[in-house]
Homo-oligomer: A and B are copies of this chain.
């Protein structure tokens, strides 16, 4: 019997015909699990989470290695566990040797350094019986004299640390202020004022450590969102809460813990401490925003999909469980709608929507794809459930844009296949841009038809009785991993691109814009960066526009978060932008099905 092991959050998949350990399966699927003993059940490092009845019972080693609680929560050692049927295995970041390459750099660094939080280095005169002024007023007197700051508001946790800092630093301190409010006090010589910007994505968390004086990124890191264990897309996360309310606080706790852990690492990389973080800004889609903030999920999960609020939250970092300076605040821009989050408004801010007078289309492709069209003063947005195909999930040999992923494919006129692998070396799978390329190339080479069906007598198409035909991208020779494109893969991609294209067409139609009027298409996210614009038009993901008008901007949501972290002006601009945006709910659009049916087809190959 053939069964499949899907590894999350990497998206790697392995088809098995014989019983092998999950550790071995991961290796064959191209993943290197942590291990010191090489799979001999002694080091306890290859920890994964896997559930189901088709698994070997926990061994003695595993029982010795995990608490009862962990065992009940499906923790296993990969080297001790054998699956006998289809399973999904969740690999925590700590169990992976090779970290995923995750897109964390936006290209837009147009940051305005008019930050809200400032750090001052001061010498404060010590008190005496003739000068018994309290510590805070003593500090204020110096601030007033040296920096013309009138008064200091009392932030309790920050003030709790002031007295000790004054005395520990022998009355020489750094004080961080947000306008007239004390954020933190540190003893000793001058420090760098730092903050953290976070893009909380459904599948990944991207964190940026930023110098608040100039918006410069000091260090960055991206990891998988640990909530993936509760489902890979937004709807499955919301469902997990609907099934059991306690999952909301569990997911909240896990994402906060992950952010704290990255923040710790980033600060340490700069010789700083997490308690030096003076300000945070977090963006994300509406579900991530609500889970992160502990806002009620139910109204968001059911018709008519109502968020709790669309105002920004500006709350003590500690209220969310984030570790930072005692008086540090977390700024969470408001969601735009039930399915358009603050990550999209951060993207629009970074990509200068609202300011520009050009006609522009902004697309952030993910499991959920947000699309915004601007013409003149009007800005219209929608959100479409495109599924994870472009992120390499639900694709036979799909994977995220990580080391070993085929990101670019070309089939030349002789039928010869050329490809590029991220990080070089032998390919482990195909990521979104590679999948998009394959389909464009297969269509150009006339190997698939307009409905995406294989034409069975074409070269590379494998057609066996009782099996759907598939295309052999890399044959299994010389111990190579076989990589194929299945009919189901093509169907998944067509559904995804159909959903996105229908959204684009509905927006264009609603504002009466023709594709040739679009001055610029801005595509955000890892997928966009590797995207072959020509092929995106070729398969009809984008309307027919000159490809030099298509621009990839990387993680623009992260760039927008960094802007709002350091700049009050950027925050106000994002609020204004959000107010301007008109939202179209596609689930109630009477035309959606018509547009979708049209958009799901592959257009005739373009002449190049």
Binding site for B on A (CB under 8 A): 127-138, 151-154, 156-157, 159-160, 162-164, 167, 293-296, 298-299, 303-315, 319, 334-335, 337-338, 583, 585, 587-588
Q: Which residues of B contact A305 (CB under 8 A)?
A: 132
The CA of A131 and the CA of B338, in the complex, are separated in Å by: 12
The CA of A160 and the CA of B292, in the complex, are separated in Å by: 12
CB of B136 within 8 A of CB of A309, answer: yes
Apart from A129-B588, A156-B313, what 17 extra A-B contacts exist at CB < 8 Å?
Answer: A129-B585, A129-B587, A132-B305, A132-B338, A132-B583, A134-B307, A134-B308, A136-B309, A136-B310, A137-B309, A154-B312, A156-B293, A156-B294, A160-B293, A162-B308, A163-B296, A163-B306
CB of A294 within 8 A of CB of B160, answer: yes
CB of A295 within 8 A of CB of B160, answer: yes
Q: List 22 A-B contacts (CB under 8 A).
A: A127-B306, A128-B304, A129-B303, A129-B588, A130-B588, A132-B338, A134-B308, A134-B310, A135-B299, A135-B306, A135-B308, A136-B309, A138-B306, A153-B311, A154-B312, A156-B293, A156-B315, A160-B294, A160-B295, A163-B298, A163-B308, A167-B299
Q: Which residue of B lies closest to A310 (CB)?
A: B134
CB of B296 within 8 A of CB of A160, answer: yes
Q: Which residues of B contact A337 (CB under 8 A)?
A: 132
Select one of B129, B154, B298, B587 contacting A304, CB under 8 A.
B129
Cβ distance A134 to chain B, nearest Cβ, rounded Å:
4
CB of B133 within 8 A of CB of A306, answer: yes
The CA of A304 and the CA of B160, in the complex, are separated in Å by: 19
Q: Which of A305, A308, A314 has the most CB of B within 10 A?
A: A308
Select one of B159, B303, B583 contacting A309, CB under 8 A.
B159
Cβ distance A93 to chain B, nearest Cβ, rounded Å:
28
The CA of A72 and the CA of B308, in the complex, are separated in Å by: 49
- A585 and B132 contact, Cβ closer than 8 Å, known pairs A154-B314, A163-B296, A299-B163: yes
Cβ distance A280 to chain B, nearest Cβ, rounded Å:
14
Q: Which residue of B lies closest to A296 (CB)?
A: B163
Q: Which residues of B contact A306 (CB under 8 A)?
A: 127, 132-135, 138, 163
Q: Which residues of B contact A295 (CB under 8 A)?
A: 156, 159-160, 163
CB of B294 within 8 A of CB of A154, answer: no
CB of B304 within 8 A of CB of A134, answer: no
The CA of A335 and the CA of B137, in the complex, are separated in Å by: 12
CB of B311 within 8 A of CB of A136, answer: yes
Q: Which residues of B contact A160 (CB under 8 A)?
A: 293-296, 308
